[in-house]
Structure 1
Amino acid sequence: MENEQSRGWVYIMADRYRGTMYVGVTADLAKRVFQHRQGTGSDFCVRYGLRNLVWAERGELIEACIAQEKRVKRWRREWKFELVERGNPDWLDLYDSLI
């Protein structure tokens, strides 16, 4: 089994139900989402007010997470909606479940 340091997350931030989305990758999901919520995570999230973590997937290797992030970013919006809604049909903010 790989050590904890090599694991990662692919995640989606959103402003509202089926609204603007940001797909990202990180090794520390709670820290990264906190940064987005504080306005220091990414210019895109700041510009569009993306504060809600609506989907996240843990990966065993950060390299695999980076590849998955690139794939999801190329997906059509509807496919991303379906991905979120499989586990979070109401687009609830999942941040509190992390901490």
Structure 2
Amino acid sequence: MKNYYVYILSNASNQVLYIGVTSHLIRRIYEHKNHLIDGFTKKYNVKKLVYFEQTSDVDSAIAREKQLKRWRREKKNHLISQSNPDWHDLYPDLVESGG
């Protein structure tokens, strides 16, 4: 069974958010962190993983990504703060655990 992830990245000051979906979270965040992807995250230095969800259904992952993108910033902040109150970068723990 394949897993899909909806994730939220932020910049160092938590002023900018990026929401994406992937089937390989560790690789995708690595790409963002090392500026291997041209575009928004590279331009605004958005590379801190602050939130993610996992599902086995690609359609629900895409639908959730679209839903989160429509949310107001306040609601996104609340979602992140519920599971990651200090907005730490979750990537090191994810890599350590093997994702």
* TM-score normalised per structure 1: 0.90
Aligned partner letter, 1:36: H
Corresponding position: 1:40 with 2:23? no
Corresponding residue SS for 2:43: helix
How far residue 40 of structure 1 moved from its aligned partner, in angstroms, is 1.8
Return the letter of the residue paired with 1:72: L
In structure 1, C-alpha distance between the alignment counterparts of 2:6 and 2:87, rounded to whole Å: 16
Give the alignment of 1:1-99 within 5 angstroms: 3-4=1-2, 7-99=3-95
Aligned residue pairs total 95
Aligned partners of 1:18, 1:81: CA distance in 2, in Å?
10
SS in 2 for 1:98: helix
| Superposed displacement of residue 19, structure 1 | 1.3
Alpha-carbon distance in 2 for matches of 1:37, 1:18 = 15
Distance in 2 between residues matched to 1:10 and 1:87, nearest whole Å = 14
Letter in 2 for 1:73: K
Q: Percent of counterpart pairs with the same letter?
A: 37
Gaps of 5+ in 2: none
Shift of 1:16: 3.1
CA contact (8 A) 1:17 1:91 kept: no
Q: TM-score, normalised by structure 2?
A: 0.90
Structure 1 segments of 4+ aligned residues over 3 angstroms from their partners: none
